[in-house]
Structure 1
């Protein structure tokens, strides 16, 4: 099969590789849409030790099952696999399982390929009325759905009803959509890239600004750099909540003194639970998350250039979807 293989820092090539073998309680999925995630970019830039070369990246995917009892079924893939028996799994917080694995991390190859094998429990049926390009957004949307849910659970409504999302990429946009779908309407996105900010405003109907001097009851950092953490610390109102999704860099930025004196809650959040994933899929399917028409579609063969364009900051759309079967 054809695959886009990460071979080293800023090096991707199309290769012919062996089709994966189907194991017990698994299905072979013909991938028809696979999104480029920020974590794929981190690997591409050599910033992610969890994803060493050579490796097939990609974990935001949807396609059609080939063979087996689910043959022909249109599905979106929950790429996160947990042990199912540890304390975290028993508590319904499978995203914290110490044995968790995700496709695109060894030993599991990713979805920038024509086929992927996945556990049947991780395949969610997609209605015929929903395109597989939209269904492939389930994974990043679930990350943001989970983050919005945690932030809203910690939110004191008496102290304000506005939210700020730092970063207008796919996770940031998805966080804004998730907040609104879960009941908080006053959401602003900060995005420094002019082209992307214009896209968020004109194409996505979001309130997007280059920066903000106001304070907000909930601040979601969808970037995760020291500078964005410092910005989040300053922009969160007293008694507010900072939700941190981004994994840009490890250290720096938080104003811990101000957070202590103003009783600001900080929540680090990773991935999603299976219930979050199912709830997100339901919201995609019933239209609660909007038209989801903010992707740019390219062939898998154009993958190396897509990564280079993202690296250069020349892509306005929050998400590029690669299609492995396009010429």
Structure 2
């Protein structure tokens, strides 16, 4: 993997940030540019993907126990360029293009020491109250959580390494490998990325289910060998080695468990109902391995390598780009059934170098991955 530095402009004293002030209310604020503290880097943000969690905070002001109690900058799927370094960080990192891993753990708790830093109780995760996110022109982050990327990975793809990491983590926990048979329920962005990862990991039989014909069409273009529209067709009698739920829909979870072969692996990624009833007899009688998935750990090197090798296509998921002044439109676009990934570019440039539009600046990508 080769990486080249880019020229670094002088850093201004202030920056623009898109701020959620209350449910449904987002506006632009001028804020001081953060300072890179010891062990940190300052990143000029190039691109940020819109996540379902951003939409949920925008609509409801909370997710479970995480409540927006003060103005919050959303956005955690980010990439950019290092423009300043704090004490202890080599100056050679100036100008590096990087992908930001948004959850910086404490590093000293029991979970961190066992390598499970995604389960750190004191993790500081971007755009999770009260930690500000990346819908801003600059952001400071721990240097080792700003992962260098090669020139072959675009700014948009750099941000989408974050949801790709979710798919990698899910497939790792589901024991997906060469020749695997896999069921993925839910063909949203995470489901599609998980499908790409399963295919890259060598799975030869990948079934994807959803209620949207358009999203199932997309799933086929990204590696699904079979798609099922559950509003039109009954679930066939599947017997898969690995089942990954990316929908959070209780009925999908139950159907997926019943479709898992003896000694198979089940991974719940989608966030839906807090509690569901599961067929315990099936779980016990088949000795199925059921686990949840919470974010990811140690996946970014794999994600970067997969993207560089062309094993996954992240740019093809981008359905629209927006500038910082049109974050509301980006959040609303993400809710369209034809949307896969809306992108916010704080620098304001669309694919052709012009200012990013308030509407779609890069539409139609889903048809041609």
TM > 0.5? yes
1:55 corresponds in structure 2 to 72
Distance 2:38 2:58 in 1: 32
SS at match of 1:75: strand
Q: Which runs of 5+ in 1 are unaligned?
A: none
- Preserved contact between residue 50 and residue 334 of structure 2 (Cα < 8 Å): no
SS at structure 1 position matched to 2:242:
strand
Distance 1:317 1:308 in 2: 10
Q: How does 1:111-190 map to 2 (within 5 A)?
A: 111-152=134-175, 161-190=180-209
CA distance in 2, matches of 1:253, 1:301: 44
Matches within 5 A, 1:1-327: 1-46=15-60, 47-48=62-63, 49-53=65-69, 54-68=71-85, 69=91, 70-152=93-175, 161-202=180-221, 204=222, 206-207=224-225, 208-211=227-230, 212-215=235-238, 216-273=240-297, 275-290=298-313, 292-299=315-322, 300-311=324-335, 314-326=336-348, 327=355
Please provide the CA RMSD for this pair: 2.2
Number of matched pairs: 319
Say which SS state the counterpart of residue 320 (structure 2) adopts: strand
Moved more, 31-40 or 212-221: 212-221
1:36 Cα deviation (Å)? 1.0
Whole-angstrom distance in 2 between the partners of 1:319 and 1:210: 21
Contact 1:63 1:132 in 2 (8 A): yes
Q: What secondary structure does 2:175 align onto?
A: helix
Cα-to-partner distance string for 1:114-161 (whole Å, 9 max, x where unaligned): 1111110101111112211111111111111011011117x9x9xx94
SS at match of 1:247: coil
Name the CA distance, whole Å, in 1 between partners of 2:48 and 2:346: 8
Contact map agreement 2:126 2:133 (CA 8 A) in 1: yes
Structure 2 unaligned blocks of 5 or more: 1-14, 86-90, 349-354, 356-369
- CA pair 276-167 structure 1, distance change in 2 beyond 3 A: same
Work out the CA distance in 2 between the residues paired with 1:11 and 1:310: 17
Classify 1:24/1:251 alpha carbon distance in 2 versus 1 (closer, same or farther; 3 Å).
same
Task: Check 1:316–1:150 CA distance in 2 against 1; reply closer, same or farther (3 A cut).
Answer: same
| TM-score normalised per structure 1 | 0.90
> Relative to structure 1, is the Cα distance of residues 254 and 39 closer, same or farther in structure 2, using a 3 angstrom cutoff?
farther
Give the Cα separation in 2 of the matches to 1:306 and 1:105. 19
Q: Which has the larger radius of gyration?
A: 2
Q: Secondary structure at the match of 1:108?
A: coil
